[in-house]
Amino acid sequence: MRKVKLEELCTAIIDCPHSTPKWQESGIPVVRNFNLNNSYISFSDGNVSYVDEDTYQQRIQRAIPEPGDVVISREAPMGVVGIIPEGMKCCMGQRLVLLKVDRSQCAPTYLLYALTSEYVQTQIRRIDTRGSIVSNIDLDTLRELEIPIVENSEEAANLLDVISRKIEMNTKIIAELESVARSVYDYWFTQFDFPDEHGNPYRSSGGAMTYSKALHRDIPAGWSVGSLAMMANIIMGQSPSGDSYNETGDGMPFFQGKADFGIHYPTRRVYTTQPQRIAEEDSILMSVRAPVGAMNFAAEQCCIGRGLASIQSISRSNRLFVYFSLEHCSSLFNALSNNGTTFGAIDGRTLHDLQIIIPPKEIQEQFSRMSEFWYSGIKTASKESARLAALRDRLLPLLMNGQAVIE
């Protein structure tokens, strides 16, 4: 293994524009810090910002982002990376650096994974000790980073790449399943065009509507409005004793709030041997402190702290109905998160009394039969991706320090 400065592996290292663009509802996507995940850059989670063509042209004057270019964040946080995939037209947001990889020196994917290695990340973490108010990696320091180059580096990158591409494929499958589920929920329970007894869209076909004072809108005749507690069992979190915490896997996974959330399922970091409030597998975990309303599902039985509530639909097959019903309360949750107090929050009584629409049982059952298929697909793909990510994380240091060799 040899060590090479980053600048020797790149044909160009380009700082991003330092201005905030005028955002658009659609157009050309902008890569921002939160789009980086140490793998292929993707906007499939819907977290995407856009600019128009004129702004795009202004932001690519220094360099055009191209497939195989590596992007690294300069701050908030430092050292998170991504690689631009084939077919992506984009420009850079603030606090990012674009790396044009010299392919005669190493494969772009190898540089991507080398930058995520503990050897390089340790160098980046040392910058935090310099005493600046905001940790920031400057271009000169970035150019001087030492990158480990191992034998058969391209083969090592290819192996890691196969794993990352499968994770990326699963992410797209999950996004598609969630999009279909959300669209059907919206069609049935927001537009009220669920199939009537003749299979026609109810409201568009002249189905009877009645005004709901609780929701301040028309709902289908025969439907009702009730509290969230009528549809789900709710448990407010309570933090266990601090001396029961550990990161060695002893006891039950413990999640404290939004910081533990992934895209759909939380990430294990802390465990407790003295769980107080327990969420069951597949229940909804909702942040009850700012940001109020952020949600994940519990992949397993787990302990929840004060920042979370467990919401388990009384009929387990209705979990996606309850989940999307809570999503439609986002305006209330946003108001609670920004109510002017130091910490926005929702209390247990407010959560229990939250008013949601309650369709007739037969409509719930129709949606449940479909939604269980979608949820099962999301859960299966998410679990496979978690296993693959763990495998990649175990292989990465072995490959980067030469303990594992591809033959």
The sign of the CA dihedral 163, 168, 174, 176 is negative
Using only the alpha carbons of the chain, give its radius of gyration: 24
- Residue 176 within a domain: no
Determine how many CB atoms are found less than 10 A away from the CB of residue 289: 20
Distance of CA 338 to the CA centre of its chain: 22
User: Three-state DSSP class for 123?
Assistant: helix
pLDDT at 106 > cutoff 70: yes
pLDDT at 364: 93
How many whole angstroms separate alpha carbon 169 and alpha carbon 163? Answer: 10
- Residue 115 within a domain: yes
Strand partners, 2: 149
Q: What is the chain's mean pLDDT, rounded? A: 92
Which of 121, 149, 177 is a domain's end point?
A: 149
CATH number for the domain harbouring residue 26: 3.90.220.20
How many whole angstroms separate alpha carbon 190 and alpha carbon 81? Answer: 39
CA-to-CA separations, 397 to 80, 116, 212, 296, 390, in angstroms, rounded = 17, 9, 59, 30, 12
CA angle, 390 then 396 then 269, to 5°: 40
How many whole angstroms separate alpha carbon 188 and alpha carbon 129? Answer: 54
User: Three-state DSSP class for 262?
Assistant: coil
Sorted by sequence, the CB contacts under 8 Å of residue 66 that are 6+ apart come out as 84, 100
Q: Domain range holding 39?
A: 2-149
Residue 39: φ, ψ to 5°? -155, -155
Among 35-49, 332-346, 347-361, 383-397, the range with the most confident prediction by mean pLDDT is 347-361
Sheet with strand 270-272: strands edge to edge: 245-246, 270-272, 252-255, 302-304, 278-279
- Residue 383 within a domain: no
Which of 149, 170, 200 is a domain's end point?
A: 149
CA-to-CA separations, 262 to 37, 168, 211, 294, 298, in angstroms, rounded = 11, 15, 39, 11, 11
Question: What does the pLDDT look like over 347-383, one tens digit per residue?
Answer: 999 999 999 999 999 999 999 999 999 999 999 999 9
Looking at the structure, tell me whether residues 123 and 232 fall in a common domain: no
pLDDT at 338: 73
Q: If you average pLDDT over residues 332-357, what whole number do you get?
A: 83
Which of 124, 149, 174 is a domain's end point?
A: 149
How many whole angstroms separate alpha carbon 337 and alpha carbon 226? Answer: 24
Looking at the structure, tell me whether residues 7 and 144 fall in a common domain: yes
Q: If you average pLDDT over residues 30-49, what whole number do you get?
A: 88
User: Three-state DSSP class for 330?
Assistant: helix
Residue 84: both structure tokens together: 């631009």
* pTM, to two decimals: 0.79
74 secondary structure, DSSP code: S
Looking at the structure, tell me whether residues 145 and 19 fall in a common domain: yes
In the chain, the number of structural domains is 2
- Residue 29 within a domain: yes
pLDDT at 271: 98
Looking at the structure, tell me whether residues 141 and 244 fall in a common domain: no
306 close to 345: Cβ distance less than 8 angstroms? no
User: Three-state DSSP class for 247?
Assistant: coil
Looking at the structure, tell me whether residues 96 and 233 fall in a common domain: no
Residue 230: both structure tokens together: 């009528």
326 close to 293: Cβ distance less than 8 angstroms? yes
CB pairs under 8 A, 24+ apart, for 238-244?
A: 238/276, 238/277, 238/304, 238/305, 238/306, 239/276, 239/305, 239/306, 240/272, 240/274, 240/275, 240/276, 240/303, 240/305, 241/274, 244/272, 244/273, 244/274
The residue whose two tokens read 């160098």 is 123
How many whole angstroms separate alpha carbon 210 and alpha carbon 331? Answer: 23
Strand partners, 78: none
How many whole angstroms separate alpha carbon 211 and alpha carbon 207? Answer: 13
Looking at the structure, tell me whether residues 9 and 133 fall in a common domain: yes
Question: What does the pLDDT look like over 282-321, one tens digit per residue?
Answer: 999 999 998 899 999 999 999 999 999 999 999 878 899 9
Residue 307: both structure tokens together: 């920042």
Looking at the structure, tell me whether residues 138 and 231 fall in a common domain: no
- Residue 214 within a domain: no
Number of helical (H) and strand (E) elements in the chain, helices listed first: 9, 23
- Residue 110 within a domain: yes
Question: What does the pLDDT look like over 203-255, one tens digit per residue?
Answer: 999 999 999 999 999 999 999 999 999 999 999 999 999 999 999 999 999 99
HSE-up of 332 (CA within 13 Å, CB side)?
Answer: 16
132 or 142: which carries more pLDDT confidence? 142
Question: What does the pLDDT look like over 160-180, one tens digit per residue?
Answer: 999 999 998 998 899 899 999
Q: At what angle do helices 153-189 and 319-327 cross, to 10 degrees?
A: 80
pLDDT at 129: 57
- Residue 255 within a domain: yes
How many whole angstroms separate alpha carbon 214 and alpha carbon 356? Answer: 9
225 close to 214: Cβ distance less than 8 angstroms? yes
Beta strands in 68-151 (DSSP E): 70-73, 81-83, 91-92, 96-101, 146-149
Q: Which pLDDT band, with edges at 50, 70 and 90, does 334 fall under?
A: confident
* Beta strands at 28-31 and 91-92: parallel, antiparallel or unpaired: parallel
- Residue 160 within a domain: no
Looking at the structure, tell me whether residues 258 and 140 fall in a common domain: no
User: Three-state DSSP class for 407?
Assistant: coil
